[in-house]
C-alpha cells in the first residue's frame, strides 16, 4: 500500500514540476479525500503533507496552504495527538509559506486550534506559538 501512496505523490510532484499546479492540487485533494472517507488516516496525511510542501516550494501558496489546512482537518478527524512527528510536519509547512501568503494565517489558526483540542496545553502548543510568532515578526 505504501508504494501506491508514494507513486501518487511522485506523479503529483512531476505535475507540479511541469507547472500543472491546479491539476496536481485537485488530484491530491481528491485522493486524500478518498483516504479520509475510508479512514486511512496515515495515507491521507502523507499525501497532504507532501503535496502541501511541494506546492509551497513551487510558489503556490494558496494551493499549498489549502492542502496544509486540510492536513490539520485530517489530524482533527483522526484525533491525532500533538506529538513530535505531527508538530514537525506542521512546522515544516509553516516555515515553507511565503511571508505574504494570506492562507498562512488560516493555517496557523487551525494548527493552534488543533493543539488546544488534542494537546496538553489549553492555549495551544507553546512551540508552535513561538515559531508562528517568530515568523510573523520577521
Each residue's pLDDT, cut to its tens digit, for the chain (138 residues) gives 568 899 999 999 999 999 999 999 999 999 999 999 999 999 999 999 999 999 999 999 999 999 999 999 999 999 999 999 999 999 999 999 998 899 999 999 999 999 999 989 888 888 888 888 888 887
SS3 108: helix
**Confidence (pTM):** 0.93
Task: Give the cell for residue 8.
Answer: 501518487
Q: How distant, in Å, are the alpha carbons of 13, 66, 91 from that of 106?
A: 24, 9, 14
Return the C-alpha torsion angle 66, 37, 79, 129, nearest 10.
Answer: 0
| pLDDT per residue as tens digits for the range 61-93 | 999 999 999 999 999 999 999 999 999 999 999
Q: Give the count of alpha carbons within 13 A of 12, CB side only.
A: 29
Q: What is the pLDDT of residue 3?
A: 85
- Look-up: residue for cell 490539520? 72
Amino acid at each position: 500500500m505504501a508504494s501506491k501512496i508514494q507513486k501518487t505523490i511522485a506523479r503529483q510532484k512531476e505535475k507540479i514540476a511541469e507547472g500543472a499546479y491546479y491539476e496536481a492540487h485537485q488530484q491530491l485533494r481528491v485522493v486524500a479525500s478518498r483516504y479520509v472517507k475510508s479512514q486511512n488516516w496515515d495515507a491521507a496525511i502523507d499525501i497532504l503533507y507532501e503535496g502541501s510542501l511541494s506546492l509551497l516550494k513551487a510558489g503556490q501558496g494558496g494551493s499549498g496552504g489549502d492542502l496544509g489546512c486540510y492536513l490539520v482537518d485530517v489530524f482533527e478527524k483522526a484525533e491525532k495527538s500533538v506529538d513530535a512527528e505531527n508538530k514537525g510536519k506542521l512546522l515544516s509547512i509553516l516555515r515553507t509559506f511565503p511571508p505574504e501568503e494570506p492562507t498562512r494565517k488560516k493555517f496557523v489558526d487551525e494548527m493552534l486550534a488543533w493543539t488546544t483540542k488534542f494537546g496538553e496545553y489549553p492555549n495551544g502548543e507553546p512551540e508552535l506559538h513561538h515559531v508562528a510568532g517568530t515568523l510573523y515578526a520577521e
